[in-house]
């Protein structure tokens, strides 16, 4: 929601820069996402929460600023020349619920022309296209007052009849955007004896449209049922500035102000125009919410200690009225403030959330009950990581094609009814497709030993599953993993046709087992967190080469690794994969071997560069560690 900084100043004198105002209002509950300078004005773009329909206007936001800074709101009084016209409308509201309030004015002798420059400019900064003076003024006054307004061509409506009712399924109306809309049941429409000419609260109809020949208009500012507007707007997939406001709740007591604001602008713009008397139909009286103000409850909920007088002052700044501890909610907040906890939030907002003292919650008297399911899964992860496996997280979805390929139970697959893409159409019935897909992402890695523990879904059920996969010679790691988890299962060798489908160029072995079928001893969870920061990954393939050296037994493989990292910034990852002592190597000697991953953000690492870096590595290790290259 965009709000003009200069326009706010018509309603309130405040002495804050746009940035200060944005910051203060953010802390008051209206987050500012962006500030844009347009000419000598600033447009603040707010994220207004759906309960605050009252803030979708200059007036509404000015009210909040008045409460925030404890300033006086300068309400506008419109001095209008009213004329008794011999034209009239006949408003028939089928059910008071759909249109509890209908306010309008007939304005005769208007001249349809271009809008004044200041109106055009303001509308442009709000993203509205300028059409003509009348339509522009209704938009302008809506932005200012929050009241959606619509102007009908009086002469296009037969006998001035405005029949307001719910639509029947399949009725049609052509809206101002030229779209013929087939209506669902329960849209609000306006009709005369011949035609439906308005989709009320959402968009006007072509059949009552203002055009260059229009002489007389009906300027309407009504209240329509938020739920009906929302349902229709959703069903038609059509949201407008009017429907957006209606579904969030428009002030029942603001209709006259909206109509008057527009009337004043029209009279200023068309001096010959004659404004008729105000038509104001309250088909349903608004009942303002009344809430008991209990300061003890409020202090207890928020953790502050204020007295009743302070609470009353805070609420009055927000236009609430208090009489004998009974708070009456202002009409523009009636959709949203209903219970005493809502009052507590209002008081806390004015008090300042950041003024509330931070408290420690007391330590529990008893030991926290353990969650043995969670602990078991985490213990399994620790065992597998200890044996060299890498944990993956993959999506819970599976493609139909892969489910069929793997001969999983396609019938038992749970389907998503509104997937954004085929990839999210089914939930995975097994962790297997994910394992294969993720293993396939690592064609350059010498070792690929992966595991995942996550939910799988089948026949309306979900369960935790463990999946292990190894590619190529990493399969030598599987026996110890199975032993570590006390599992007596034979790993599955993945068939060539499946490997081809996943573009895996090495043999793959997998183990898939339900967590319920694993039994392990409870153990302490490893709570350490890595202190390493993310190193940017090139979008080009890495080049991986091994180096194997002979060094003194006393040399730490970790120090050698750190030394290798220092040699060139293309060295991305250095992994120790072998370390052993053997009589064949000589007394006091050991063999250590690393995979060295090189990458370059600018392109693939060329062979010649790789060779250069490896020569440097060998030289450095010879000097620093008296290392002898083995391969």
Partner 1 sequence: MSGNLHPLTQFLRQSLKYFEDLGFQIAEGPEIETEWYNFDALNVPADHPSRDVQDTFWIKSSEKKVLRTHTTGTDVRFIKENNLKPPLRLVVPGRCFRNEATDQTHEHTFYQIDGIAIDQNLNLGHLIGLLDGYMKKLFGDNIQTRVRPHLYPFVEPGMDLDVKLPNGKWREMLGAGMAHPVVLKNMGVDPEKWQGIMWGMGIDRYMMQYFQVDDIRWSYSGDLRFLKQFNEKS
- Shortest distance, position 389 Cβ to partner 1, whole Å: 4
Q: Which of residues 42-61 bind partner 1 (CB under 8 A)?
A: 49-52
Residue 445 binds partner 1 (CB under 8 A): yes
| Collapsed DSSP state (helix, strand, coil) of residue 282 | strand
Nearer to partner 1, 52 or 207 (CB): 52
Measured from the CB atom, the residue of 84 and 539 that comes closer to partner 1 is 539
**Residue 176, φ and ψ in degrees, nearest 5:** -60, -20
CA 196 to chain centre: 37
230 interacts with partner 1 by CB under 8 A: yes
CB of 117 to partner 1, least distance (A): 35
Which of 194, 391, 514, 606 forms a contact with partner 1 (CB under 8 A)?
Answer: 391
Q: Between residue 518 and residue 537, which ones bind partner 1 under the rule CB under 8 A? A: 525-537
Q: Are 450 and 438 in contact (CB under 8 A)?
A: yes
Judged by CB under 8 A, the chain residues 138 through 177 that form the site for partner 1 are: none
Pairwise CA distance, residues 181 & 487, whole Å: 63
Residue 291 structure tokens? 């809430």
Q: Tell me the CA distances in angstroms from 629 to 18, 191, 587, one per residue in order.
A: 66, 92, 17
- Residue list 371-390, contact with partner 1 (CB under 8 A): 371, 373-374, 378, 381-382, 384-390
Residue 615's φ and ψ, nearest 5 degrees, are -60, -40
Stretch that binds partner 1, among 103-111, 115-123, 443-451, 604-612 (CB under 8 A): 443-451
Choices 157-165, 195-203, 440-448, 498-506; region in contact with partner 1 by CB under 8 A: 440-448
The minimum distance between CB 478 and partner 1, in angstroms, equals: 13
Provide the sign of the torsion angle of the four alpha carbons 33, 41, 138, 253, taken in this order: positive
Q: Closest separation between CB of residue 534 and partner 1, Å?
A: 5
For residues 173 to 212, the per-residue mask of contacts with partner 1, x marking binding by CB under 8 A and - elsewhere, is ----------------------------------------
Nearest CB to partner 1, comparing residues 130 and 394: 394
Picking from 101, 87, 243, the residue whose alpha carbon sits closest to that of residue 161 is 87
324 sits in the region (left: phi over 0; alpha: psi -120 to 50; else beta) called left
Site for partner 1 in 311-350 (CB under 8 A): 339, 341-342, 344-345, 348-349
Please count the CA atoms within 13 angstroms of the CA of 314 that sit on its side-chain side. Answer: 20
The footprint of partner 1 on residues 417-436 (CB under 8 A) is 417-420, 424, 427
* DSSP line for 90-157: EEEES-TTT-SEEEEEEEES----PPPHHHHHHHHHTTPPP--HHHHHHHHHHHHHS---EEEEGGGS
| For partner 1, the closer CB: 123 or 350 | 350
User: Closer to partner 1 at the Cβ: 279 or 343?
Assistant: 343
Q: Which runs of consecutive H residues, i.e. helices, occur in 486-606?
A: 496-501, 557-567
484 binds partner 1 (CB under 8 A): no
Residue 414 touching partner 1 (CB under 8 A): yes
Q: Max alpha carbon distance in the chain (Å)?
A: 117
| Shortest spacing between CB 442 and partner 1, in angstroms | 5
**Tokens standing for 303?**
């953790």
Does the footprint of partner 1 cover residue 296 (CB under 8 A)? no
- Which listed residue (138, 175, 232, 438) binds partner 1 by CB under 8 A? 438
Report how far residue 83's alpha carbon sits from residue 630's, in angstroms, rounded to the nearest whole number: 104
Rule CB under 8 A: which of 542-601 touch partner 1?
Answer: 542, 558, 572-573, 575-577, 597, 599
What is the smallest separation between the CB atom of 418 and partner 1, expressed in angstroms?
A: 5
Token readout for 389 is 């496996």
């Amino acid at each position: 929601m965009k709000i003009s900084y200069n326009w706010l100043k018509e309603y309130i004198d405040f002495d804050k820069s746009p940035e200060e105002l944005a910051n203060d209002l953010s802390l008051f509950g209206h987050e500012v996402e962006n500030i844009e300078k347009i000419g000598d004005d600033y447009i603040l773009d707010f994220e207004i929460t759906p309960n605050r329909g009252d803030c979708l206007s200059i007036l509404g936001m000015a009210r909040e600023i008045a409460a925030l800074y404890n300033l006086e709101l300068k309400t506008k009084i419109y001095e209008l020349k009213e004329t008794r016209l011999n034209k009239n409308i006949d408003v028939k509201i089928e059910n008071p619920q759909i249109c509890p309030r209908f306010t309008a004015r007939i304005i005769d002798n208007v001249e349809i022309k271009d809008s004044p420059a200041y109106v055009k400019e303001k509308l442009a900064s709000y993203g509205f296209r300028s059409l003509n003076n009348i339509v522009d003024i209704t938009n302008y006054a809506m932005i200012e007052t929050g009241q959606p307004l619509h102007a009908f061509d009086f002469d296009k409506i037969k006998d001035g009849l405005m029949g307001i009712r719910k639509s029947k399924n399949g009725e049609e109306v052509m809206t101002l955007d030229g779209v013929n809309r087939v209506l669902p049941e329960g849209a609000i429409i306006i009709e005369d004896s011949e035609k439906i000419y308005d989709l009320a609260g959402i968009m006007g109809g072509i059949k009552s449209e203002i055009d260059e020949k229009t002489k007389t208009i009906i300027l309407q500012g009504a209240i329509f049922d938020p739920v009906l507007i929302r349902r229709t707007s959703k069903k038609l997939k059509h949201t407008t500035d009017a429907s957006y406001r209606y579904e969030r709740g428009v002030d029942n007591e603001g209709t006259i102000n909206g109509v008057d604001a527009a009337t004043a602008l029209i009279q200023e713009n068309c001096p010959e125009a004659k404004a008729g008397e105000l038509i104001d139909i309250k088909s349903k009286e608004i009942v303002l919410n009344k809430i008991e103000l209990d300061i003890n409850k409020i202090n207890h909920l928020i953790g502050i200690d204020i007295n009743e007088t302070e609470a009353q002052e805070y609420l009055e700044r927000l236009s609430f009225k208090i009489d004998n501890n009974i708070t009456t909610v202002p009409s523009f907040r009636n959709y949203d403030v209903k219970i005493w906890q809502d009052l507590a939030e209002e008081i806390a907002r004015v008090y300042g959330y950041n003024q509330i003292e931070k408290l420690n919650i007391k330590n529990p008297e008893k030991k926290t009950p353990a969650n043995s399911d969670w602990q078991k899964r985490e213990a399994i992860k620790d065992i597998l990581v200890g044996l060299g496996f890498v944990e993956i997280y993959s999506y819970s979805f599976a493609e139909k094609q892969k489910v069929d390929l793997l001969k999983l139970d396609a019938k038992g697959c749970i389907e998503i009814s509104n997937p954004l893409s085929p990839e999210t159409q089914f939930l995975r019935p097994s962790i297997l497709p994910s394992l294969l897909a993720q293993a396939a992402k690592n064609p350059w890695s010498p070792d690929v030993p992966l595991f995942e523990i996550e939910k799988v879904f089948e026949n309306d059920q979900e369960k935790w599953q463990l999946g292990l996969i190894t590619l190529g010679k990493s399969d030598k790691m599987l026996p110890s993993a199975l032993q570590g988890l006390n599992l007596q299962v034979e790993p599955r060798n993945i068939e060539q046709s499946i490997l081809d489908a996943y573009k895996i160029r090495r043999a793959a072995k997998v183990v898939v087992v339900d967590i319920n079928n694993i039994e392990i001893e409870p153990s302490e969870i490893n709570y350490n967190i890595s202190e390493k920061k993310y190193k940017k990954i090139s979008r080009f393939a890495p080049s991986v080469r091994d180096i194997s050296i002979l060094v003194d037994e006393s040399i730490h493989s970790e120090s050698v690794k750190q030394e290798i990292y220092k040699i060139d910034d293309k060295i991305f990852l250095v992994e120790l994969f072998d370390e052993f002592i053997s009589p064949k190597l000589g007394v006091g000697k050991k063999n250590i071997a690393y995979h060295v991953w090189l990458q370059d953000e600018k392109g693939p690492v060329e062979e010649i560069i790789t060779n250069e870096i490896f020569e440097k590595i060998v030289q450095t290790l010879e000097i620093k560690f008296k290392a002898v290259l083995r391969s």
